[in-house]
Structure 1
């Protein structure tokens, strides 16, 4: 849903779309990674969501950092180019 809004940044930094799609894969309604994890681990969705919140918060913080501070985030990869 946010890809059209972040398209200018995503074309410069392909990592934005990757992180955004990772977040989308872990959350409903699409949540393919969520449903696969629930099926393999044989846990209830409520238990999965309870344990997954900290990772989703970290991914959202990383997405905000990548979006609004790309110079700081890409410093190390650009140093090796």
Structure 2
């Protein structure tokens, strides 16, 4: 699956490739945590600092996941 975003910069697309996930991936992590909280007012975050750090360290694996490096996309 490839996405198109008019007006996005190369840097936007590169960061999108690194930190974005499929909804199913996020739900698999968040739903069990949401069930435990039960209205306590605590925040539940998927994109935590450790997760961002891991994504940045493994960025070379994630290159081109959503956007190709050489292609400019138009809507």
TM-score bucket (shorter structure): 0.3 to 0.5
TM-score (norm 2): 0.32
TM-score (norm 1): 0.31
